[in-house]
């Protein structure tokens, strides 16, 4: 579906009724990352998955920064009549959830931080983003999918679930080069969110695939330790795209969190 906002079109899907759970995908994904969560929302939950700026059916945001994207998401929430929501993000979506907390915390009634990290890019990481922009420009989204795919899933998924690997590969190949370029700028320039972890005073669930090599479990353990009263769930047999690789386990953890913390 499409919703028009003052900042342009936003692609989204939703399922279920009740307390809103807004899901933000990673890089270079689109809202179909959350297909399995849309298929089985936690009880009493309205799950909404957005295409982030320039991905899927969404228009680009004018400024490639995560703070600007947070304002863009708040605008999408206005258009979808969501005064508040539990905000869940995977990887880049998690970085964006932190930006929403910084800029629009009244809109955030809970956080789900999946396969993400609080820290900013290292200098080396920033240089890799710039190199990836050059690759995307020269060779297209397929080259980015090739570069990202090995880290996107865990070794168990690689061995046992070719369909999940193909699903993610096809999603990344669909990304527009312009969206990849802008997202890489937003990722490269994002601030360190570590200092704000202690300010998070809404129910928070941290999820991580046990085999995640891009944002390893130790990053999630550090976030859980720093966020007051946060809960951590490690999903066995999953890597970075845990919501795709182990949807039943991911959804069970999500449902348990929503039921326990938002009765
Ligand atoms: C993602 O899945 O969103 C990316 O791995 C994030 C990143 O490159 O930092």
Residue whose token pair is 């009765």: 263
Instruction: Report which DSSP code applies to 190.
Output: P
Cβ of 91 less than 6 Å from ligand 1: yes
13: β partners: 49
CA of 189 from ligand 1 middle (Å) equals 13
Task: Return averaged pLDDT per consecutive 10 residues of the chain, 263 residues in all.
Answer: 96 96 98 94 92 97 94 97 98 98 98 98 98 98 98 98 98 98 98 98 98 98 98 98 98 96 94
CA of 44 from ligand 1 middle (Å) equals 30
Q: What is the pLDDT of residue 259?
A: 94
Ligand 1 atom showing the smallest separation from residue 151 Cα: 5
Q: Under DSSP, is residue 107 helix (H, G, I), strand (E, B) or coil?
A: helix
Query: 0.85 cut: is pTM over it?
Result: yes
Q: For residue range 138-195, what is the model confidence (pLDDT) as tens digits?
A: 999 999 999 999 999 999 999 999 999 999 999 999 999 999 999 999 999 999 999 9
Please tell me the distance from the alpha carbon of residue 23 to that of residue 122, in angstroms, as a whole number. 26
Q: What is the pLDDT of residue 26?
A: 98
């Amino acid at each position: 579906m499409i919703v028009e906002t003052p900042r342009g079109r936003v692609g989204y899907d939703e399922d279920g009724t009740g307390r809103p759970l807004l899901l933000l995908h990673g890089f270079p994904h689109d809202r179909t990352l959350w297909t399995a969560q849309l298929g089985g929302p936690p009880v009493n939950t309205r799950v909404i998955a957005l295409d982030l700026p320039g991905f899927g059916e969404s228009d680009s945001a004018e400024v490639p920064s995560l703070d600007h994207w947070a304002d863009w998401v708040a605008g999408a929430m206005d258009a979808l009549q969501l005064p508040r929501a539990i905000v869940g993000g995977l990887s880049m979506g998690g970085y964006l959830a932190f930006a929403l907390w910084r800029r629009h915390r009244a809109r955030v009634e809970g956080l789900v931080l999946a396969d993400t990290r609080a820290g900013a890019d290292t200098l080396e990481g920033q240089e890799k983003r710039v190199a990836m922009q050059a690759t995307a420009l020269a060779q297209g989204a397929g080259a980015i999918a090739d570069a990202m795919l090995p880290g996107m899933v865990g070794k168990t998924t690689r061995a046992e679930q070719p369909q999940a690997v193909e699903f993610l590969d096809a999603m990344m190949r669909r990304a527009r080069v312009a969206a990849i370029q802008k997202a890489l700028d937003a990722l490269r320039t994002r601030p360190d969110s570590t200092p704000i972890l202690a300010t998070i005073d809404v129910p928070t669930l941290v999820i991580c695939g046990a085999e995640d090599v891009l944002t390893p479990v130790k990053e999630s353990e550090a976030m859980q330790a720093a966020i007051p009263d946060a809960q951590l769930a490690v999903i066995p047999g999953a890597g970075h795209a845990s919501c795709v690789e182990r949807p039943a386990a991911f959804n069970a953890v999500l449902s348990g969190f929503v039921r326990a913390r938002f009765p």
